[in-house]
Chains A and B, each alone.
Chain A
């Protein structure tokens, strides 16, 4: 077994940083950021929805980047990194879709609107990455599973920008862009709150990613140790799984 980094290292510091940043972010959201003139209180979901969406998208692309590492080196640890990144991003993406839907209902009166290209693109990307786990699950051989999943992750990551272009062009009229990636034309206090929320959610992603990596890695080591101590027969083989192990 190749020496693998210890994922538990630095986990406590990272967790603390996440808790502090997220607490500060929520405090700013509720007590510092001004109420939106048109939408009032409900606009504050923006500080949760947009960071979730941005972090989920970055996580998907990150999964693709890790997958390149897997195909280049052939080491399973990269596959595990890629898997955990996509797995976490899927959860974040569900959060982004739900908060987006609530926001749409509150400000436009419908649970879903087709003329917001970012939302539609996001849904398509989510639908694509949602097939990652079924794909993994239907391949038995673990080595092949990792390889094929990496190929899928790379193709799907390249798909993200193309999809955004196509959906944006499909809108007949130009939708006013209130929110750009850097918080473009937000007034100062809103922008600061948004950036800290974004940092908080990004840290949350990093922490959860590290936790899952640590858990998987520890389980792997434990199995290896038990096999060595108790003999090969006593440790049952893992069942069919979509996760690398």
Chain B
């Protein structure tokens, strides 16, 4: 646990010093909103359409973070150093997933208000509690799967390709729940509460893949 905190602290510190990943993710999300505005030919969105646009934007921006997650470890020898240290290897999974989760939350703190300002028809305020709940649960799933996929992809030749190609289908159940779950709070005729079944699907997804990632992560580090 102490190792995980140390690695997480290192990652956040690096991000704070370089501002390499999160600002790029946020800019990417904003650009995606602009593209959706022109692509859909709509000035405002609501309901399922708004939920879909938000989901896709968050997901694709998240992909940027997922691709970058282990790059420094590989390029600067972080992996070797970590393997040399007498620490539990799972703590790297924990630290990286926590870092990715933090990145995603910060991204959403920027992207969701921007979405409310630029594209959303109904007002954002009443939608926020439901939206936050779904997004947090979805972030957990994206963080776990993202870390796993990133750890696989970073050792492949075409890592920028393999990450999204493997990650996207794996994330589909979470994305279905996220897109359907956020539709209710973003509805045109006033925010409704999130249907319970989508929260359950997200929670189930998070738990299953967290346990699975915990079980298999060791095998990605052996060398």
Nearest to A125 among chain B residues (CB) is B169
Q: Report how many residues on chain B are interfacial, defined by Cβ distance under 8 Å.
A: 33
Question: How close is B220's CB to chain A, nearest CB, in angstroms?
Answer: 6
When the two chains form their complex, are residues A165 and B220 in contact, meaning their CB atoms are under 8 A apart? no
Cβ of B35 under 8 Å from chain A: no
Complex Cα gap A210–B11 (Å):
48
Contact A135 to B212, CB < 8 A, known contacts A124-B172, A148-B220, A156-B170:
no
When the two chains form their complex, are residues A138 and B208 in contact, meaning their CB atoms are under 8 A apart? no
Cβ of A224 under 8 Å from chain B: no
User: Interface digits, A137-157 against B, CB 8 Å rule (1 contact, 0 not)?
Assistant: 011100010011011101110
When the two chains form their complex, are residues A124 and B169 in contact, meaning their CB atoms are under 8 A apart? yes
CB-defined contacts of B166 to chain A, threshold 8 Å: 128, 131, 135, 152
User: Interface digits, B171-187 against A, CB 8 Å rule (1 contact, 0 not)?
Assistant: 01110110010000000
Partner of A147, one of B161, B165, B222: B222
Question: How close is A128's CB to chain B, nearest CB, in angstroms?
Answer: 4
Cβ of B204 under 8 Å from chain A: yes
Cβ of B197 under 8 Å from chain A: yes
When the two chains form their complex, are residues A162 and B220 in contact, meaning their CB atoms are under 8 A apart? no
User: Interface digits, B130-173 against A, CB 8 Å rule (1 contact, 0 not)?
Assistant: 00000000000000000010001001111101100110011011
Nearest to B148 among chain A residues (CB) is A155
When the two chains form their complex, are residues B173 and A165 in contact, meaning their CB atoms are under 8 A apart? yes
Q: How large is the interface on A (under 10, 10 to 19, 20 to 34, 35 or more residues)?
A: 20 to 34
**Interface 9-mer from A47-55, A166-174, A177-185:** A166-174
Cβ of B103 under 8 Å from chain A: no
CB-defined contacts of A127 to chain B, threshold 8 Å: 169
Nearest to A144 among chain B residues (CB) is B155
Complex Cα gap A165–B208 (Å):
13
Partner of A128, one of B170, B180, B204: B170
Cβ of B219 under 8 Å from chain A: yes
Cβ of A15 under 8 Å from chain B: no
When the two chains form their complex, are residues A166 and B219 in contact, meaning their CB atoms are under 8 A apart? no
When the two chains form their complex, are residues B201 and A165 in contact, meaning their CB atoms are under 8 A apart? yes
Cβ of A231 under 8 Å from chain B: no
CB-defined contacts of B158 to chain A, threshold 8 Å: 134, 138
When the two chains form their complex, are residues A162 and B205 in contact, meaning their CB atoms are under 8 A apart? yes
When the two chains form their complex, are residues A152 and B177 in contact, meaning their CB atoms are under 8 A apart? no
Cβ of B36 under 8 Å from chain A: no
Contact A135 to B152, CB < 8 A, known contacts A151-B219, A152-B166, A166-B201:
yes
Cβ of B216 under 8 Å from chain A: yes
When the two chains form their complex, are residues B169 and A134 in contact, meaning their CB atoms are under 8 A apart? no
Partner of B212, one of A71, A140, A158, A170: A158
Q: Can you show 5 pairs from A to B with CB atoms below 8 A apart?
A: A124-B169, A134-B165, A139-B157, A147-B219, A156-B170
Complex Cα gap A144–B201 (Å):
33
Partner of A155, one of B161, B201, B216: B216
When the two chains form their complex, are residues A135 and B170 in contact, meaning their CB atoms are under 8 A apart? no
Question: How close is B176's CB to chain A, nearest CB, in angstroms?
Answer: 5
Nearest to B215 among chain A residues (CB) is A154
List the 6 closest A-B pairs by CB distance, nearest first: A166-B173, A128-B169, A138-B156, A138-B157, A138-B158, A166-B176
CB-defined contacts of A124 to chain B, threshold 8 Å: 169, 172
Interface residues of A in 193-220 (CB under 8 A from B): none
Cβ of B82 under 8 Å from chain A: no
